[in-house]
Structure 1
């Protein structure tokens, strides 16, 4: 469960980072201005559709950071060069797919050969989704 107060703080940080007003932010992500006002005031909690619109309009915002405050904002660009761990580094954080990414089908790593699919969720660009259980 997300903490609404902390979420609104992170949302405000995104708005401030891009030097947007609540009105211009609402227009850019395609929601009514009152939606932003109600979320920032704590009256309403953000919907999945709202969160997906923020992620789609601002690719530098990471889902895990926006929802839980863990990770980086703005997200650091990914480099293709291998990095060498140092003593101060910890395990890499799990990668969360971006909203418009396409999964690679038919590939399987040795670590998931014993895994079973529990649920498949398909997200559509209009903010709807379907969930399937095998």
Structure 2
């Protein structure tokens, strides 16, 4: 099968005209016309744009004409399962995260206020241990997991 036939199959499957396909993958309309008329062969960049825009297209089909046409025809059930596992970035906004942390804080006791130490006085009293003025107490520990969730611990 020539690439022109593959391109026409893609356009038919997704219900796109030449102009709509060109707009969707961000290429000039002439590029699509030249590929359909077999004046030009597709570049790797063009194949990558097609695959990025239509990830269900089988990349081996695009390059080597190896069936099946769509990836979902190879692994229909595993793709559905994997799509449920993919974390959606920015699903929870920063404001929602802060609100969730504040809600957790309301359920816990408020930490007592600690007076800041006079740093200069501490250094002059104990010059050998100059780092002692940096000792601080831990207020909370937040662990971020790779799935986008997090847990806050208060001592």
Q: Which range, TM-score by smaller chain?
A: 0.5 to 0.7
Counterpart of 2:59 in structure 1 is 63
Indicate whether 1:75 and 2:96 are aligned: no
Unaligned runs of 5+ in 1: 81-134
Indicate whether 1:29 and 2:28 are aligned: no
CA RMSD of aligned residues (A): 1.5
> 1:45 Cα shift?
0.9
Q: How many residue pairs were aligned?
A: 76
> 1:78 Cα shift?
4.9
Counterpart of 2:3 in structure 1 is 7
Structure showing greater radius of gyration is: 2
Q: What whole-Å deviation, never above 9, does each CA across 1:64-119 have from its counterpart, x for those lacking one?
A: 10122213122223528xxxxxxxxxxxxxxxxxxxxxxxxxxxxxxxxxxxxxxx
Q: Which runs of 4+ in 1 moved over 3 A?
A: none
Larger RCO of the pair (alpha carbons < 8 Å, separation 6+): 1
Please give the alpha-carbon distance, in whole angstroms, between the structure 1 residues aligned to 2:59 and 2:41: 16
Please give the alpha-carbon distance, in whole angstroms, between the structure 1 residues aligned to 2:77 and 2:2: 27
Counterpart of 1:42 in structure 2 is 38
TM-score, normalised via structure 1 length: 0.53
Please give the alpha-carbon distance, in whole angstroms, between the structure 2 residues aligned to 1:32 and 1:39: 11
Please give the alpha-carbon distance, in whole angstroms, between the structure 2 residues aligned to 1:46 and 1:35: 9
